[in-house]
Amino acid sequence: MAEGYVRSLFHSIPFVVKASIWTALSFSVPTTAGTYAVKDVVVCENAYVVQVLIDAGMIMLGKANLLTPGGFSFGSIVAVAAGIVPVFLGIETDGSILVPSDRTNLYSLKLTTGKASTYGILGYTPFIDTLKPMTRSPEDVATLLDFLTPMEGYLHREFLTRSVASLRIGFLDPAVWAPTADAVRPDAGFTNQLNNEVSAAIDAIEKAGAHVTRNAVLRRFSSEDNKMINNFASIDYAVEFGILKDAVKVYLPDNTYKQYAETLQRNNKELGINKVLREHNLHALMSIPLGRSATIATIAGYHVGTVPLGYARFNGVAYGMCIIAPANAEPLVLRIMSAWEAIMPKRLPPPPLLQNDGSHEKYALMPRRFFCILTGS
């Protein structure tokens, strides 16, 4: 930049990555994946996503911790929400970016499975692992997609129209898709607040010109889905993983894995999301993120994007909504995101961990367990 050459719109912008993403020896930052098993493994090259960002002129500050509740990306996402860096790019299986971005009032977009390379990232489930950028604005999400998928032949920023006119969007009932009591602590006041704000958001989207379907019905996991999931769960992992060297004894043949994956994808794609989109002639669905609606989209290999909505009055934690759309519909999701940003009240950043009330410092409502730990050279 000092020489007058700017590589991209994000030239000189800092970023962080998860500790499960490769970085070359020159960075002197280990790729631990949050486990002692690989803490001393030497990585000789950057992951694809890291190299793409570096080639765009961005600066890696370090790696963020994985051992956080609500998803392995929480450390990285706290770095964005706190203003340490403006963008984060990671890999998501099911919820590791969705939940943290929902809880920090940020925008994120899970790419179509297989759309961009995950080379150099320690993942979990190949048939649904995919890249997911997360930022404080739809514009930054679009810019990152331009870096990651240049083969698309267009600029994703072109789809930030800030309009939902003529779009057909179905909203799932938050009461039906709310997380169960074993996942979150029930609070009647928050439930009412959430339902009211979701209803107000639907009204605002409809007033802006979208054709809205309220309480669209999305199929939950079938008995066949549950049977296969239970088959995985029935493996005695506790015994086999007690000693690391015995982990290889837990064996699932490739053909069986492929059969399970294809069946789960077919059921949740054709009998789930595609069915409700077709029945109501919809372009996309929107729901609260913490129920299992996003998991259904994930298994189908479809998009899940997050948008901010508000903060719970009883504890100050953020919450938002998610956008569910078919494969290769990144432009559609970006259009909805940009319209959401234009229509809804301005996104508010989370409160600082420490607040000064004029006389002494006190802890704010942001949970302390969401600390970000950065390691770097």
Q: Is 280 exposed, middle or buried (0-12, 13-18, 19+ CB in 10 A)?
A: middle
CATH number of the domain located at residue range(s) 1-158+347-377 in this protein: 3.90.1300.10
Closest by alpha carbon to 168, among 133, 225, 209? 209
Q: What pLDDT is stored for residue 361 in this prediction?
A: 38
Residue 86 reports pLDDT greater than 80: yes
Both structure tokens of 6: 């700017």
Of residues 309, 273, 278, 312, the one with CA closest to residue 294 = 273
Q: Averaged over 58-84, what is the pLDDT?
A: 76
On the question of pLDDT at 364 being above 50, the answer is no
Which residue blocks in the chain are alpha helix, DSSP H? 48-55, 74-81, 98-102, 138-148, 188-207, 223-233, 237-240, 254-268, 274-280, 293-300, 330-343
pLDDT tens, position by position, 296-305: 888 888 989 9
User: What integer is the mean pLDDT of 343-371?
Assistant: 55
| pLDDT, average across residues 160-179 | 94
- Domain extent listing, the chain: 1-158+347-377, 161-220+261-345
pLDDT for 193:
95
Tell me the pLDDT tens digit for each residue of 239-289: 444 555 565 666 677 888 888 888 888 888 998 999 999 999 999 999 998
At 60-70, the pLDDT tens digits run 988 887 766 56
3-class SS at 178?
A: coil
Under the banding of pLDDT at 50, 70 and 90, the label for residue 227 is low
Taking each continuous run of H as one helix and of E as one strand, the counts in the chain are: 11, 13
Among positive and negative, which fits the CA dihedral 40, 45, 47, 50?
A: positive
Q: What is the mean pLDDT of the chain?
A: 82
Which pLDDT band holds residue 350 (cuts at 50, 70, 90)?
low
Contact present, 72 and 63 (Cβ < 8 Å): no
Q: Please provide residue 62's backbone torsions phi and psi, each rounded to the nearest 5 degrees.
A: 165, -165
The CATH number corresponding to 161-220+261-345 among 2.30.110.10, 3.90.1300.10, 1.10.10.10, 3.20.20.370 equals: 3.90.1300.10
For residue 144, the model assigns a pLDDT of 92
Instruction: Return the top range by mean pLDDT from 1-5, 32-36, 55-59.
Output: 55-59
- Supply the pLDDT for residue 287: 96
Decide if pLDDT at 330 tops 50: yes
Domain 1-158+347-377 and domain 161-220+261-345 have a common topology: yes
Give the global pTM. 0.85
The DSSP-derived string for 318-340 is EEEEEEEE-TT-HHHHHHHHHHH
Lowest mean pLDDT among 164-178, 216-230, 245-259: 216-230
Looking at residue 90, its pLDDT comes to 78
Average pLDDT over residues 209-226: 81
